[in-house]
Amino acid sequence: AQKITQTQPGMFVQEKEAVTLDCTYDTSDQSYGLFWYKQPSSGEMIFLIYQGSYDEQNATEGRYSLNFQKARKSANLVISASQLGDSAMYFCAMREWDGGSYIPTFGRGTSLIVHP
């Protein structure tokens, strides 16, 4: 079974509008972490936001917020006031402790296109 599922292969949003990128995860661990990364065409993975499984409040980083619903095992990324520069691939990832280190698992990604 997929550990990280991103069901939206592509999303379109108009500049200045908000957009939600979906992510569901599967784990039996009580302690885990959830990330979102942005990958422009250059290839570099840019860290956006992190949510720990024990964090009670949703994480926020500037225009990015993570809508964490633990019971539903979802960790959706909300981008407010989209900008043209937000056009990129977005990956949801989960890190689990394997006894020796934290190992992240990534989803297949969502391509976001922001149009004027």
Partner 1 sequence: DAGVTQSPTHLIKTRGQQVTLRCSPISGHKSVSWYQQVLGQGPQFIFQYYEKEERGRGNFPDRFSARQFPNYSSELNVNALLLGDSALYLCASSLDRASGNTIYFGEGSWLTVV
Residues with Cβ within 8 Å of 91's Cβ and at least 6 positions away in sequence, in order, are 6, 36, 37, 38, 39, 45, 106, 107, 109
As measured in angstroms, the least distance from the Cβ of 15 to partner 1 is 26
Please state, in angstroms and rounded to a whole number, the distance separating the CA atoms of residues 56 and 19.
23
As measured in angstroms, the least distance from the Cβ of 116 to partner 1 is 27
Among 82, 91, 112, 114, binds partner 1 (CB under 8 A): 91
Name which of 14 and 60 has its Cβ closer to partner 1.
Answer: 60
Residue 75 — φ and ψ, nearest 5°? Answer: -145, 75
Contact 76, 8 (CB under 8 A): no
Instruction: Pick out residues in 22-61 that bind partner 1 (CB under 8 A).
Output: 33, 35, 37, 42-47, 50, 52
Q: Which residues bind partner 1 (CB under 8 A)?
A: 4, 33, 35, 37, 42-47, 50, 52, 91, 93, 95, 97-98, 100-109
